[in-house]
Structure 1
Amino acid sequence: MPSKPAPTDDEADPRTVAELSEFALIDELTKGRGQGAGVLLGPGDDAALLTAADGRVVASTDVLVESVHFRFDWSTPEQVGRKAAAVNLADLAAMGARPTALLLGIGCPATTRVAVLRELTAGLWREAQLVGAGLAGGDVVTAGQLVITVTALGDLGGHAPVTRTGARPGDVLAVCGRLGWAAAGLAVLGRGFRSPVAVVNAQRWPEPPYGAGPRAAEQGATSMIDVSDGLLADLGHLASASGVSIDVQTARVVIPQRLAEVGSALGADPMRWILTGGEDHCLAATFPEPSAVPEDWTLIGSVGRGAGVTVDGEAYAGPGGWEHWR
C-alpha cells in the first residue's frame, strides 16, 4: 500500500491534483525557477532546447516508485525530490560529465496534494542547482501510486567518456564518497528509529561527489561506475564489462565511527553495509597507478587478470548488493 504523505510546509493549501488542469499543475511546479546555462528554452513548449557545445550528450534515466525507493513516513517530499535528482546526476558524474539539465515525469493518483508535488519538485530543483543544472521539461500523468522518472543530461567538455570497459590488469581501484551510510540508515529506519540523524538522512537522500567524476576523468581514470546497488555488485558490472578481476582490500577501507556505533547498537557488521549496501551513490574508478588517484579518492583495491570480484583474495559469501526481482 502506498504510504501516507508526510505533512508539508504548506498545510494551508488543501488542493489535490484533480482540482487543477494538467497545465496549471505544470505551471505550479515550474514557475519562478531559473535554468542552467545549458538550457535555451525550458518548460512551456513542445520540447526543451538545450546547448550541446561538446557535440555529444550524456543521458541517464532512473525511475523511483513509492514504497519501493522511498516512503513518505520516512522522508519528506523535498527529500524525495533531492534523491530523485541525485541518483541521476551521479550517473553523469560516473561518466566524467557535467550536468546541463533534468527532465521530470510524474505519475500520481488524483488525490495527491499539490503541495506534496510542489515540495518534491523544489527538492529536485535544489539538488540540480548544486551542479548548475535546471529542470528543462517533463510530463505529469495519472497513476495508481506516485512514480517519479528523471532523465539527466550532461556535457563531456571535450574529453572522452569514462566507461565501465576501460579497466586493465595492473590498475588500482579507488572510491570517492560515502559507502554504507544509506544501508545503515535503512537498518535504523527499519527498526523504527529516527536517529542518528546523519545516518538516517543518508538513506533519505544521497550526497554524491558530483565534481569527483569529471576530476577523475581529467586525471586519467580508466573506468568508473556509480555505486547504486552495492560496492561489490557494481564492481561486478565493471569487472565484467572490462574483462578483468577486481579485488577489494578491506584493510584499506575505513569504517566511520558513526557506522561502527550504529552497527554495535543493532548487532550488525558495518563492513557488510560498506561492501554491499546501495543508495550512497559514491563513485568507484580504476586508475593506471596509485599516483594518478586524486587526493579526495581512497585507494581500496586492485585490478587483475581473470573475472569476478573478490574481497581480500576470497569470494564473498552472500549477495554483493541489491537486485530487482531477486
Structure 2
Amino acid sequence: MASESGPEQSSGLTEDRIVREIFLKEPPLSSDFVVPPGDDAAVVRVEGDLVATADILVEGVHFDLSYFSPEDLGYRAVAVNLSDLAAMGARPHSCLVSVGMPSLVSEEFVRGLAAGIRDSLEEFGASLAGGDTVRSERVVVSVTALGTLDGKPLTRSGAKEGDGIYISGPAGLSHIGMLFLTGGTSGGEDLEEARRKHLRPVPRVALGLALREREIASSCIDTSDGLVRDLTRILEASGVGASIDVAPLLDERLRKLAQAAGVDPLDALLYGGEDFELLFTVPPEKEKELLRSVGEEVIRIGIVRAERGLSDSLGGEPLSLSGKGKSSFEHFGEGGA
C-alpha cells in the first residue's frame, strides 16, 4: 500500500469517476480523432510515419510521493515520453495513459494527477487518446506516446568521424535536484531550479524537430540515463568512438550545487541521468548552420573519432571513467530499487 506520505485514502471514488476525471474531462486537442476517447478505442487519422514510445513510473522505484505532488507526477510521466519523441525528431501527437493506484485513493490526488497530465500534454501540443486504470499496491503511471514525422527519423546510429558532439543543456542538474528533494534541503533560486529539473523535465521537442527537419544532426538521443551512458549508446550504435571535454558543463553554479548536495560534481555531470536534454552529433559542414538556425542554446562538448571507445577530459586534462557510474540508475542491477 502507499505510504502515509502518499495519496490519502477516502471512499466513494469509482473506476468510472477516475476514467472521467483523467481521460474524458476535456476533448482531444487534435482534430485527427475520428473517434475520440470514450469508446472502446480511439480512432486517429495521421499523416506520415507513426512514432511510438512507452515508459512506466513506479512509486518507490522512480519517484517518492513524499516530495512528488500528484501534479508533478502527472506532468513528468508525460514529459519523459515526449522527450523520446523529441530525440527521434517527431512531432508529439497523443498519449495513452494507464494508472494503477491503491484502493480508496483520494479524489484530490486523482484530480491533481489528471491536471499534471493535461498540463504537460497541452504545453507540447499533444492530446490524450485514452488509457486504463487498475488497483495496485503502489501508484504506477504508464504512458505510451505517439508522434508523427514526414521524413527520415533521427536515430542513434548515424554519427561519423569528425562530427561535433553537442548537448542541449546542463548535465547532472536533475540528479542534484533529486538529492535535494530526498534530503529536504531548502535554499535559493539555483536549488529550486535543480528541484524543478527533476520534478518537471522539459522535453526538447522544438529542437528535435529543427535538427531533423533541417537535416542538421547525424545522430541523437535524450539523456535519460546520464551523459556517459547515453553517449556510449550513440557510439556503439554508430560503430565509432569519441573524445569529450566536459569543462563547458562544469560551471561554478553546478560545483556549488553539487557541494551543497554532498555529491562529486563530475559524478553528477557524467552519470546522474534524468536530465532529458538532447545529446546529438553534427557533421562539420552543418555546425555553422546549427549555431545560426537553432534558437535554443546548445553546448559543444567533443568530437567523434574513428577509433572505438570514449575518452574524457576536463579543460584538456584527462579524466578516468573507470569505476564511475554509481549515480546512474539501473533497473535490474545494483543501482535498481
TM-score normalised by structure 1 residue count: 0.90
Q: CA shift at 1:322, angstroms?
A: 2.2
Equivalent in the alignment of 2:45 = 51
Cα distance in 2, alignment partners of residues 49 and 205 from structure 1: 30
Q: In 1, are the aligned partners of 2:175 and 2:274 still within 8 Å (CA)?
A: yes
Cα distance in 2, alignment partners of residues 140 and 102 from structure 1: 15
Local SS of the residue matching 1:317: coil
Cα distance in 2, alignment partners of residues 29 and 189 from structure 1: 27
Deviates more, 1:69-78 or 1:201-210: 201-210
Equivalent in the alignment of 1:11 = none
TM-score normalised by structure 2 residue count: 0.87
Equivalent in the alignment of 1:299 = 300
RMSD, aligned CA: 2.1
1:3 matches 2:3: yes
CA shift in 2, pair 1:266/1:87, >3 Å? closer
Q: In 2, are the aligned partners of 1:244 and 1:305 still within 8 Å (CA)?
A: yes
Give the ranges of 4+ consecutive aligned residues of structure 1 lying more than 6 Å apart after TM superposition: none
**Please, which of 159, 172, 177 is the counterpart of residue 151 of structure 2?**
159
Q: CA shift at 1:166, angstroms?
A: 0.6
Q: In 1, are the aligned partners of 2:89 and 2:205 still within 8 Å (CA)?
A: no
1:84 matches 2:84: no
Q: In 1, are the aligned partners of 2:13 and 2:106 still within 8 Å (CA)?
A: no
Equivalent in the alignment of 1:223 = 219
Give the paired residue count.
316
Cα distance in 2, alignment partners of residues 58 and 242 from structure 1: 21
Q: In 2, are the aligned partners of 1:182 and 1:202 still within 8 Å (CA)?
A: yes
Local SS of the residue matching 1:140: strand
Deviations 1:120-168, CA, capped at 9 Å, x for gaps: 1210110111111111100001212111100000011x22100111111
Instruction: Return 5+ residue gaps in structure 1 as ranges.
Output: 9-13
Cα distance in 1, alignment partners of residues 31 and 231 from structure 2: 32
1:169 matches 2:161: yes
Cα distance in 1, alignment partners of residues 264 and 330 from structure 2: 20
Query: After superposition, where does 1:191-202 map in structure 2 within 5 Å?
Result: 191-195=183-187, 196-202=191-197
Q: CA shift at 1:255, angstroms?
A: 2.2
Cα distance in 2, alignment partners of residues 72 and 190 from structure 1: 11
Local SS of the residue matching 1:123: helix
Equivalent in the alignment of 2:173 = 181
1:207 matches 2:202: yes
1:244 matches 2:240: yes
Cα distance in 1, alignment partners of residues 281 and 97 from structure 2: 32
Cα distance in 1, alignment partners of residues 32 and 70 from structure 2: 26
Cα distance in 1, alignment partners of residues 121 and 209 from structure 2: 16
Tell me the amino acid that sits aligned with residue 323 of structure 2.
G
Q: CA shift at 1:92, angstroms?
A: 0.1
Local SS of the residue matching 1:149: strand
